[in-house]
Amino acid sequence: MTIKAVVFDAYGTLYDVQSVAAVTDEAFPGYGELISQIWRMKQLEYTWLRSLMGRYEDFSVVTRDSLNFTLKTLGLTFDAAVFERIMDKYVHLDPYPDAKQALTGLKGRKLAILSNGSTDMLNALVRNTGLHAILDATISIDSTRIFKPSPRTYELIETHLGVAPQEVLFVSSNPFDACGAKSFGLNVAWIERVTPQAMAAELAGASLVRPLAMFKAMRMQMDEYGLEPDYRIGALADLPGLVTAHP
């Protein structure tokens, strides 16, 4: 295998979606973690359901709708200013601490993001966090009007980068995305940030399961689709060594 391009998912892979908890807890003390987990789970669910129903709206709309659902479901009152302050965090998400160094260590290959994020959201996020200076392309699925893991979304990699699927390493920490990319025919590195052993240790003896633990169990464990990633890594920092081994 020769790797000519390394393509990353954005949300949950390069950027920590859990970093929204600081602003949600500031707006609604004591509810921050619960809001963050319901919001993210509904956000993903809405992408899948809209794709199945053929009722596409871009990721900014999906993100607003899922936040609105979450706050209403929890019976929380809010005004437009509070809502917009929370939403704004999605264009200022915290990159994972090893993101920039990992990208820098992959120089010499084409580097890109392929994300469900809308074009404006992604461009703002990448610019606000300084990754625009390292990436060759930031690709939104907007043009396909369907969300990952539709095969049509992964076709955008070759369209934009001119690199064949077998020469691409796709990197995601989201199991649904890793499986979708593998099903399409890409080489896949899945970032396993939470192992089953870590889950067992976290839940051992717990009298109450925290919302974050539930999210880890539902959205951060490899799914049973009969598809396995080519590589399992623990962090973005592992990527330069992996790619160097496949010149």
Catalytic residues: 9
Q: How far apart are CA 137 and CA 128, in angstroms?
A: 15
Alpha helix positions (H), the chain: 21-27, 32-53, 59-73, 80-88, 99-104, 119-128, 151-161, 175-184, 196-203, 211-219, 239-244
144, 176 contact by CB (below 8 A): no
Burial 73-107 (b: 16+ CB within 10 A, else e): eeeeeeeeebeeebbebbbebebbeebbebbebbe
State the DSSP string of 199-216: HHHHHTT-SS--HHHHHH
Question: Largest Cα–Cα distance in the chain?
Answer: 55
Residues in CB range of 205: below 8 A, 6 or more apart: none
**What Å distances lie between residue 171 and 71, 89, 191, 200, 223, CA to CA?**
32, 23, 7, 25, 16
Question: Is residue 203 exposed (0-12), middle (13-18) or buried (19+ Cβ within 10 Å)?
Answer: middle
